[in-house]
Amino acid sequence: MKNAITADAGAIDAGSVKDARSYRLAGAASMAGTTIEWYDFFLYGTAAALIFNKIFFPALDPIIGVLAAFATYAVGFLGRPLGGIVFGHFGDKIGRKSMLLFTLMLMGIPTIIIGLIPTYEQIGYWAAVLLVAMRFLQGMAVGGEWGGAVLMALGLANSVSGQRRAARRRLADSPEGPGIARFREAQKRQHRRQSAAVQSIPRAPQRNPDDHWRADCRERLVLHVSDLRVGLCRQPVAHSPCRCPERDHCWRCAFAGDDAAVRAPVRQGRPETSVFRGASAALRFRLSVLRHAWHPRAANGVVGDGAGRRRGLPDPVRPRVAAVCPTVSGRDSLQRYLCVSAAGRRPGRWIRADDRYSAIGARRWQPALRDRLPDRHGASGAGVHRADETRSTSTTVARVKLLIGGEWVDSQSSEWLEVVNPATQEVLAHVPLATAAEVDAAVAAAQNAFTTWRHTPIGARMRIMLKLQALIREHSKRIAVVLSAEQGKTIADAEGDIFRGLEVVEHACSIGTLQMGEFAENVAGGVDTYTLRQPIGVCAGITPFNFPAMIPLWMFPMAIACGNTFVLKPSEQDPMSTMLLVELAVEAGVPAGVLNVVHGGKDVVDGLCTHKDIKAVSFVGSTAVGTHVYDLAGKHGKRVQSMMGAKNHAVVLPDANREQTLNALVGAGFGAAGQRCMATSVVVMVGASKQWIPDLKALAQKLTVNAGSEAGTDVGPVISRRAKQRILDLIESGVQEGATLELDGRGITVPGYEQGNFVGPTLFTGVTTDMQIYTQEIFGPVLVVLEVDTLDQAIALVNANPFGNGVGLFTQSGAAARKFQSEIDVGQVGINIPIPVPVPFFSFTGSRGSKLGDLGPYGKQVVQFYTQTKTVTSRWFDDDSVNDGENTMKIAFIGLGNMGAPMARNLIRAGHQLHLFDLNQQVLAELAELGSRISESPKHAAQGADLVITMLPAAAHVRAVYLSDDGVLAGISAGVPAVDCSTIDPQTIRDVAAAAAKLGVVVGDAPVSGGTGGAQAGTLTFMVGATLEHFTVLKPILAQMGRNIVHCGEVGTGQIAKICNNMLLGISMIGVAEAMALGDRLGIDTGVLA
């Protein structure tokens, strides 16, 4: 660990040498450009105050003429922001250094042209118009110069130690330009005095003294030639490695994100805010400039009494284009100015820029950092407040938002907490304690989204996870900087935090195989059984402060990939890096409502644990809170996994590799300031290994305590002052209880970070199992050492401890390792590994007092946690009526009658194939549109049918009965007065019988008393009628030989529907006895005809 950090520091030092070279080049070029700009500034200002009213505005009153001259002077300042916009834009597209060469040239050309403009007497008001135009171009050029070159040099200066103040003085307050201008002014005053002394001497016409300014303008051509050389000096300048003095460790740059997105706040910020801020800064600047300009007027006697001469010309004010409109100076300039102003300003200065939480979500965040930012030592005009203190919402620091239903929402809460940098006590943001209504809204949004998200194909969910892991990898360094600022851990630890969470996201990309069920064929005769893993619904996650990236990534990616929706409650102490991850998830394509975020404390936690729509709760945190969450959520029927506190042991045998073991113990015990649930907090020295304690102490003493953003830091600050005080109290308790304090980490003061929550590496020996430093989880950089004689004693000591998160054994004996892993009662065991956190292919398996719930956070267990297992047992019958595996039937309707058409429609909707024959062409056309087929004859309709249904009209509606060509009867309902069927000629019936005999069918011998016919079926024939007397088989009931015919009398419409429904469910495939039993069960008078 130490070697890796040293290598990084060396790389940074090498980069600093390169930065120094670039700074000297950029500083020299920018100082020369500033000198030229100040020369033009003084030259034009002096001319405007003394001469322009006479040359360009002679027709006006002297005072009005002076004011008009000053108005042209102000036009240049109006052009500066526009110049910053134009040249910053094109600088981003074609290269800033090339554009800065053009701005230098443009600065000089208007000055030269002004010296050539004719007077008012020569061309009238066109003289003033040309003057204003040139002054505007000059202002645009200066805006481009300040928006790029000077701020670029300042950024490079900030990357070189000790150069910040000198650079600001040399670049912003360059004395060379004013010096040249003052020298020329002194020359002109001397010339005027000499001219006055010789006015009485006759001589040739002399040049008007007021024309000296024209000569100065023409002399500007000499400086203009140098402009080209200055611009060329900038070409080899390297860009600053970062847009701020803190390089890659600047959380503000990390919030602002990549270059492309820095412009987003400019386009989407509130216009009235920018205008007000720019106007206020411009007013302060204009008043100062006006004071400077009127001094030479007083010296000339036009206005005042000459007091200005006695006072002399004051130092020029700093022209700050970025201060007036900081978002128009090019994309790099905005961030460089933001960070230079925040880190290098004097106490009490106001930063004039907007910040956003991130690049990809800039449109979702309200302006931040409009308040006074504390300096790097923690001083702040607003005072220092801990992150765990509740405050009102009256401050103007950035506010963390809620995510509800895909919308970034401002909380309506009246209670807010401060997110504080542990190293500086700087207030980074305010986070709300969400209201009960906001929690309900988040859960409702998740519940609504679940109805559609659960049916999203697995492939689509996998693609979202693939994009999310790519985005996290792309933005990992930026997130690490923010995480380090709000949590305090080193940049390396922060990147590790993100990477371990990223591994879980990568594992979620394989959800297609993880969510597979199981299948067993033919568990009984024709019976198959299989399981499905289906999402359970809305899930909630409650995460701790110590891993604001890894723990959220343990939870919501796997839950979402399984088809659930999620409500996340990040730690209120460091929510910003978590919110960056949430933004990336939204950008990856997670639909609205699938992922929601609420912030808060106990009330929000209780609201999630008791909400009726939440099905599962995941928690990682302290034992006290974890037990509360488990009990409360469990009482309300939730599925709960609760990962809690730990007291992780490392057992060291004498045969272990000494160097590797000691390095591992120091890293596991003091890394991340000991704020890890898997940190090694107890070392059990077995036998002779206790002789290694001095070496362990020596290694711990070499660790560097500093802010996490500083290169070379090994141990950063703890999360809050409250946490620091608790650690100090436990250290004191160890001393009072008789332990030996080998290394005392109290009283650490870090230069530049005096307000930080620092506790240095602390080492105790002579510890017993009844001391508080052993029984309690310290959660700080405190390592306690116990000594035992044998491995069995070490195993017994570890097993007696109530916690069971992780344990490590250091040995080179395979037999000892096998014995240890078999007998130890801890969920996760490391052999020569101090922090045995498994990769995501396996599950996090804490046990005993470290875990409540059966299933762990990731791996296979988390898929089981976020899914509901459903077991299906199915049986499919082999039957001749099922063709090619289809469960639909081919049904023939011969004569639809009154009830046939509705029945046919239902059968079509059920997917059956219908072949129809009827004389009512209108009804046939309607059914044909639904997908039925129209047959040309009854025989054609019945051919190959699984079931034939004949619905002949009732006798009261029969007008005529006829015998079709193939011997099947059909009736025509004409809607005319009823004709008694008993009057039908008996010969007709004999003809029917004869025709039936020709077809080779058996004709039933039921009495013919009028009425209508029945139905023929290939397997089973239903004959439907009203009564056996009135609706009987008219003799022409046709049945294929050997088939069963069931005649159902007393059948009404509802009973017919019941018969058909049962028939479609397969009951029609029965014999005679079953048919009779069916009729009896339905209450139908059933007779059987053979």
> Which residue numbers are catalytic?
677
What is the token pair recorded at 360?
């990809």
The residues, any chain, with a CB within 8 Å of residue 123's CB and separated by 6 or more, are none
Give per-residue burial for 423-453: e unless 16+ CB within 10 Å, then b.
bbbbbbbbbbbbbeebbebbbbbbbebbeeb
What is the token pair recorded at 559?
């839950």
Phi, psi for 323 (deg, rounded to 5): -70, -35
Is there a contact between 420 and 389 (Cβ–Cβ < 8 Å)? no
What is the token pair recorded at 486?
């709000």
**Pairing mode of beta strands 740-743, 762-765:** antiparallel
SS3 content of the chain, % helix, strand, coil (to 5): 50, 15, 35
- Taking the chain, what is the end-to-end CA distance rounded to the nearest angstrom? 95
Paired strand residues for 409:
402
Return the SS3 of 741. strand
Kindly tell me the burial class for residue 1072, based on how many C-beta atoms sit within 10 Å of its own C-beta (0-12, 13-18, 19 or more): middle
Helix ranges, 95-204 (H):
96-114, 120-123, 126-145, 151-158, 164-172, 176-197
Q: Tell me, what DSSP letter sits at residue 1083?
A: T
Query: What distance in Å separates the CA atoms of residue 874 and residue 133, rounded to the nearest whole number?
Result: 88
Q: Tell me, what DSSP letter sits at residue 976?
A: S
Query: What distance in Å separates the CA atoms of residue 855 and residue 727, rounded to the nearest whole number?
Result: 32
Query: What distance in Å separates the CA atoms of residue 260 and residue 1051, rounded to the nearest whole number?
Result: 79
**Cα-based distances in Å from 5 to 491, 698, 767:** 10, 18, 32
DSSP letters, 777-792, are ---SSEEEEEEESSHH
Kindly tell me the burial class for residue 109, based on how many C-beta atoms sit within 10 Å of its own C-beta (0-12, 13-18, 19 or more): middle
Amino acid identity for residue 678 in this structure: M
Is there a contact between 402 and 442 (Cβ–Cβ < 8 Å)? yes
Query: What distance in Å separates the CA atoms of residue 235 and residue 99, rounded to the nearest whole number?
Result: 11
Amino acid identity for residue 1015 in this structure: A
Kindly tell me the burial class for residue 594, based on how many C-beta atoms sit within 10 Å of its own C-beta (0-12, 13-18, 19 or more): buried
Kindly tell me the burial class for residue 107, based on how many C-beta atoms sit within 10 Å of its own C-beta (0-12, 13-18, 19 or more): buried
Paired strand residues for 873:
529
Q: What angle do CA 1054, 1057, 1063 make, to 5 degrees?
A: 145
Kindly tell me the burial class for residue 314, based on how many C-beta atoms sit within 10 Å of its own C-beta (0-12, 13-18, 19 or more): exposed
Helix ranges, 860-944 (H):
860-865, 900-909, 921-929, 938-942
Return the SS3 of 1025. coil
**Cα-based distances in Å from 451 to 441, 537, 730:** 16, 9, 50
Radius of gyration for the alpha carbons in the chain, expressed in angstroms and rounded: 45
**Pairing mode of beta strands 1020-1024, 1085-1089:** unpaired
Is there a contact between 764 and 773 (Cβ–Cβ < 8 Å)? yes
Handedness of CA 470, 474, 478, 483 (dihedral sign): positive
Query: What distance in Å separates the CA atoms of residue 828 and residue 804, rounded to the nearest whole number?
Result: 8
